[in-house]
Amino acid sequence: MNSKQRFFNLLGNYPALSHYWNTEKEELDIDQVEAIRGKLSPGEVLLLNILVSIWCGNARNDFEIDITDLAAIDLHARRPIIEWLIDPFWP
């Protein structure tokens, strides 16, 4: 499985956020992400920022992440990110 497939598998854990990515074109709609961030809960913003950071790497540094905030998120939502931290990949 290549890194993009792994990312889309990871993204499948977050159906409320996955629609910002076009899996067929393998693209992120960054304009839509930037427009919606202010309307999401803090936990959703954190998860979205993490996913965008994984997808874009260092190309986008305006998606701030404080990894300690992840501790406040439900374990079910945290687990896939923890698994990524153990075995990171970049699409």
Residue 66 lies in a domain: yes
Residue 91 lies in a domain: no
The domain of 74 spans 3-86
**pLDDT score, position 62:** 75
**pLDDT score, position 20:** 97
Residue 46 lies in a domain: yes
* pLDDT less than 70: residues of the chain: 59-61
Q: Max CA-CA distance within the chain?
A: 34
**pLDDT score, position 59:** 66
Torsion angle (degrees, nearest 10) of CA 83, 34, 19, 74: 40
How far is the C-alpha of 39 from the C-alpha of 71, rounded, in Å?
22
**pLDDT score, position 61:** 67
Residue 70 lies in a domain: yes
Residue 75 lies in a domain: yes
